[in-house]
């Protein structure tokens, strides 16, 4: 009987994290935001002291729960210029925790979106002022390159492919 009770509690906790979570963003001002995770019984917040240019949700790591993809504008230790970055957060026992806080994908990140089946599509600029649209997929720790949808084109051409 004790095993059955434990099993029921585990199923309930699992269904809570899978079915009863919502990520959202709260803007304090132009350069301060909170990522918010609401479940049936809790609310957790993660301070993002940066401008946010994009917010998406999707199951990036393929574990069956929704992750939050947040585009921020910030410097990094290795790239002192303010650029667009992609941060991915997960729900870990009703608390927001970083899954990946990337400083760079392939090129200079212009925009991103979660498409389906764990795919993150990016619109990127090259050092030669050309544009590419690439797709990335979770590979254990971080996003791994999957394929280019288009490369060495104008921003307008790349934007059309990015938005498909």
pLDDT for the residue numbered 20: 80
> What parts of the chain have a pLDDT lower than 70?
1-19
What is the chain's percent helix, strand, coil content, to nearest 5? 15, 55, 30
Q: Collapse the DSSP code of 9 into the 3-class scheme (helix H, G, I; strand E, B; otherwise coil) and give the result.
A: helix
Mean pLDDT of the chain: 87
| Dihedral angle over CA of 70, 145, 58, 132, nearest 10 | 60
pTM of the model: 0.85
The residues, any chain, with a CB within 8 Å of residue 152's CB and separated by 6 or more, are 126, 130, 132
49-74 exposure pattern, b = at least 16 Cβ within 10 A, e = fewer: ebbbeeebbbbbbeeebbbbbbbbeb
On the 0-12 / 13-18 / 19+ scale of CB atoms within 10 A, 48 is buried
φ and ψ of 81, to 5 deg: -75, 145
pLDDT for the residue numbered 19: 53
Tens digit of each residue's pLDDT (9 = 90 or more) over 91-137 = 999 999 999 998 788 899 999 999 988 999 999 999 999 999 999 99
Kindly provide the residue ranges of all beta strands, DSSP E only, lying in 78-130, ordered along the sequence: 83-92, 95-102, 108-114, 119-125
pLDDT for the residue numbered 79: 80
DSSP 116: S
């Amino acid at each position: 009987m004790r095993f059955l009770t434990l099993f029921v509690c585990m199923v309930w906790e699992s269904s809570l994290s899978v079915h009863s979570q919502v990520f959202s963003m709260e803007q304090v001002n132009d350069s301060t935001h909170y990522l918010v995770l609401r479940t049936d019984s809790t609310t957790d917040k993660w301070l993002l002291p940066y401008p946010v240019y994009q917010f998406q949700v999707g199951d990036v790591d393929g574990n069956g729960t929704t992750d939050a993809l947040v585009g921020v504008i910030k410097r990094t230790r290795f790239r002192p210029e303010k650029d667009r970055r992609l941060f991915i957060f997960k729900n870990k026992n009703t608390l927001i925790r970083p899954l990946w806080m990337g400083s760079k994908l392939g090129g200079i990140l212009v925009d991103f979106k979660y498409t389906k089946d764990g795919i993150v599509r990016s619109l990127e600029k090259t050092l030669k002022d050309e544009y590419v649209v690439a797709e990335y997929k979770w590979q254990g720790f971080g996003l791994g390159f999957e394929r280019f949808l288009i490369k060495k084109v104008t921003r307008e051409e790349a934007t059309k492919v990015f938005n498909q």
